[in-house]
Amino acid sequence: MTIEIVSDVNFYDPENLIPYLENDEAIIRNVTKGMLDFSNEETYAGSGAIASGTTFKSLTVDASIATAGSAFPAMSNGMLKFLGASPKVTLPSTFKLPTTTKRFMAIFWAKLPASGYQTGSSNVLQSLYGYAANTSTLCQWAAVLSTFQVSGARNLMQFYYPASGGSASNLALSDAESAALCNGELHQIALLFDGESVAGMRQAKIYVDKVVKASSAQNTWDGTLNSPATDAVLGYMTAFQSSYTADGLFLGRPSVWDLTGTGKNPEDIIAADWNSAQGYLA
């Protein structure tokens, strides 16, 4: 005879050693502020062409909502194709970090062609992912690809980040590293800002496929993030180039992480994001 004992007593876990069950293995509760993965049905379970106004759900515990600000073709292996006039996904407010944040990271995945971008009277800035109204006074963080005015070929991948509460600075990949990134293949891109490790100083880094490819010097910082009166977006940001003409530009799996006061190693998070995405964003 088997006796089954059923108890309604909760687990005793005063040191929080039992991990939360999350919708993505890379998520860290209270550190991952927002994450969308279009290959995960918790974010998006639809099929076929995507209409403007379609909603996507963050995989974080708040399940906050992102909205397609334009129509998109059907999803391609968990990635959205950005082509045409002003394509964007408006991200949840959790992607906009508090002005008191000292150390953070933004990660996304991209396929970037080497050419075919819109030409202009000067070199073009193609926004990819971020929270910025411009590249000077109203930028919290942004990934931007500069392209050549005459040819429409890729120039440099750049990370715009806070220089002070009222200005921004930028870090760019070298020409060789930008060429390696803009080869039409799938890459993970991580942007790290650290204004915490050295008091009164700030540093930025760009990782591609888990490897640091660019790093700024330590510079003085007043400790305040910009907080533009705009939305965090994947794709088109106001005041940047609005037309996406490079056929084959795909973006996906955006996430943002507040590392302030956590002691978390960003490279561990990048590796976890990489491992979680494998087999889905093929």
What residue spans define the domains of the chain?
82-276
Distance CA 36, CA 30 (A): 16
pLDDT of residue 272: 97
pLDDT of residue 282: 62
- 82-276 CATH: 2.60.120.200
Element containing residue 127 per DSSP (H, E): strand 124-132
- Closest to 168 (Cα-Cα) out of 112, 209, 126, 224: 224
This prediction has a pTM of 0.92
The tokens of 122 are what?
Answer: 């000067």
Cα distances from 275 to residues 59, 233, 271, 279, in angstroms, run 16, 24, 6, 9
Distance CA 42, CA 91 (A): 16
pLDDT of residue 140: 94
Backbone angles phi, psi at 156, to 5 degrees: -125, 140
Residue with tokens 């009164």: 200
Give per-residue burial for 189-217: e unless 16+ CB within 10 Å, then b: bbbbbbbbeeeeebbbbbbbeeeebbebe
The letter for the amino acid at 96 is K
Q: By the 8 A CB rule, do 126 and 144 touch? A: yes
Q: By the 8 A CB rule, do 181 and 189 touch? A: yes
Cα distances from 170 to residues 66, 141, 162, 213, 260, in angstroms, run 27, 9, 8, 14, 21
Q: By the 8 A CB rule, do 74 and 237 touch? A: no
The tokens of 251 are what?
Answer: 């973006």
pLDDT (tens digit, 0 to 9) for every residue of the chain, 282 residues total?
A: 444 444 444 455 556 555 667 899 999 999 999 999 999 999 999 999 999 999 999 999 999 999 999 999 999 999 999 999 999 999 999 999 999 999 999 999 999 999 999 988 888 999 999 999 988 888 999 999 999 999 999 999 999 999 987 889 999 999 999 999 999 999 999 999 999 999 999 999 999 999 999 999 999 999 989 889 999 999 999 889 899 999 999 999 999 999 999 999 999 999 999 999 998 886
**Start-to-end Cα distance in the chain:** 52
DSSP string, 144-194: EEEE-TTT--EEEEEEEEEEETTEEEEEE--HHHHHHHSSSSEEEEEEEEE
Distance CA 250, CA 70 (A): 15
pLDDT of residue 21: 79
